[in-house]
């Protein structure tokens, strides 16, 4: 009787382990390496907190969408924004916008990565920004009531992001805060 009881408990434990293992594997943060003209940095993303945002971002990475784009808006004391424009400041065509996931418990703190959007809360597509200071006013609920969706953070190379944030900027046509010397994203790739 004792042996059967122990054997049943072992079988149950194995079954639970098999069920839990895929869930745990899905929750493992993915990492993306950005190779830029100023150096490399790595971001870690959190699908457990922002599933749609992370799925969207990683699809753009897999599609090599970010390769050849620039950091087109750089404001020291605020953030650096990229992922949507070529070096000549033409905007790349994107997929459909995603729903806002700003109420996920993640804050727009220094080093976090979030989705850029228009005044429409559900307008984020490919552009992202990295907070270079704590931007509490961007957290949900922000003054506009919505906030900006943080979905990861820089885990390596924040010194490179700091180089980007202090790059000299100027107006370029209708665009403001554009780096005088383009800061190119040579590639964005999943880290294995």
Asked whether residue 118 is assigned to any structural domain, the reply reads yes
Q: What is the pLDDT of residue 159?
A: 98
**3-state class of 95 per DSSP?**
coil
Between CA 69 and CA 83 the distance in angstroms is 6
**3-state class of 18 per DSSP?**
helix
pLDDT band at 142 (very low <50, low <70, confident <90, very high): confident
Residue 143 has pLDDT above 80, yes or no: no
Instruction: Name the nearest CA neighbour of 33 among 46, 25, 44, 22.
Output: 44
Q: What is the pLDDT of residue 24?
A: 44
Asked whether residue 140 is assigned to any structural domain, the reply reads yes
Asked whether residue 7 is assigned to any structural domain, the reply reads no
The domain tally of the chain equals 1
Residue 65, domain CATH: 2.40.100.10
Between CA 79 and CA 87 the distance in angstroms is 19
pTM score of the predicted model: 0.85
Identify whether the C-beta of residue 151 lies closer than 8 Å to the C-beta of residue 101.
yes
Question: What tens digit of pLDDT does each residue of 14-24 get?
Answer: 555 555 454 44
Q: What is the pLDDT of residue 192?
A: 79
Asked whether residue 102 is assigned to any structural domain, the reply reads yes
Asked whether residue 13 is assigned to any structural domain, the reply reads no
* Burial class of residue 156, CB neighbours in 10 A (0-12, 13-18, 19+): middle
Asked whether residue 62 is assigned to any structural domain, the reply reads yes
Instruction: Name the nearest CA neighbour of 133 among 107, 113, 110.
Output: 110
Instruction: Name the nearest CA neighbour of 125 among 152, 96, 83, 150.
Output: 96
Residues with Cβ < 8 Å from 178, sequence gap 6 or more?
72, 73, 74, 89, 169, 170, 171, 172
Task: Tell me which residue range forms the domain holding 106.
Answer: 26-190
Q: What are phi and psi of 3, to 5 degrees?
A: -65, -45
Asked whether residue 87 is assigned to any structural domain, the reply reads yes
Asked whether residue 74 is assigned to any structural domain, the reply reads yes
Question: What tens digit of pLDDT does each residue of 112-141 get?
Answer: 999 999 999 999 999 999 999 999 999 998
The residue among 152 and 7 whose pLDDT is bigger is 152
Question: What tens digit of pLDDT does each residue of 39-90 get?
Answer: 999 999 999 999 999 999 999 999 999 999 999 999 999 999 999 999 999 9
Question: What tens digit of pLDDT does each residue of 87-116 get?
Answer: 999 999 999 999 999 999 999 999 999 999
Structure tokens at 10: 């072992």
pLDDT band at 171 (very low <50, low <70, confident <90, very high): very high
Q: What is the pLDDT of residue 6?
A: 54
């Amino acid at each position: 009787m004792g042996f059967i009881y122990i054997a049943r408990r072992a079988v149950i434990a194995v079954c639970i382990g098999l069920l839990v293992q895929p869930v745990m594997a899905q929750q493992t943060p993915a990492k993306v390496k950005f190779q830029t003209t100023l150096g490399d940095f790595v971001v870690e993303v959190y699908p457990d907190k922002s599933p749609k945002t992370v799925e969207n971002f990683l699809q753009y990475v897999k599609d090599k969408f970010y390769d050849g784009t620039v950091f087109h808006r750089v404001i020291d004391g605020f953030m650096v924004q990229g992922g949507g424009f070529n070096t000549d400041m033409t905007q790349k065509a994107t997929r459909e916008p995603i729903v806002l996931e700003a109420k996920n418990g993640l804050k727009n703190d220094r080093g976090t990565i979030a989705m850029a959007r228009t005044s429409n809360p559900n307008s984020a597509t490919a552009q992202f920004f990295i907070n270079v200071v704590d931007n509490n006013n961007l957290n949900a609920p922000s003054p506009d009531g919505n906030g900006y969706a943080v979905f990861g953070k820089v885990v390596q190379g924040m010194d490179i992001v700091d180089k980007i944030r202090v790059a000299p900027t100027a107006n370029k046509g209708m665009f403001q805060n554009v780096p005088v010397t383009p800061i190119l994203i040579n590639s964005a790739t999943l880290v294995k």
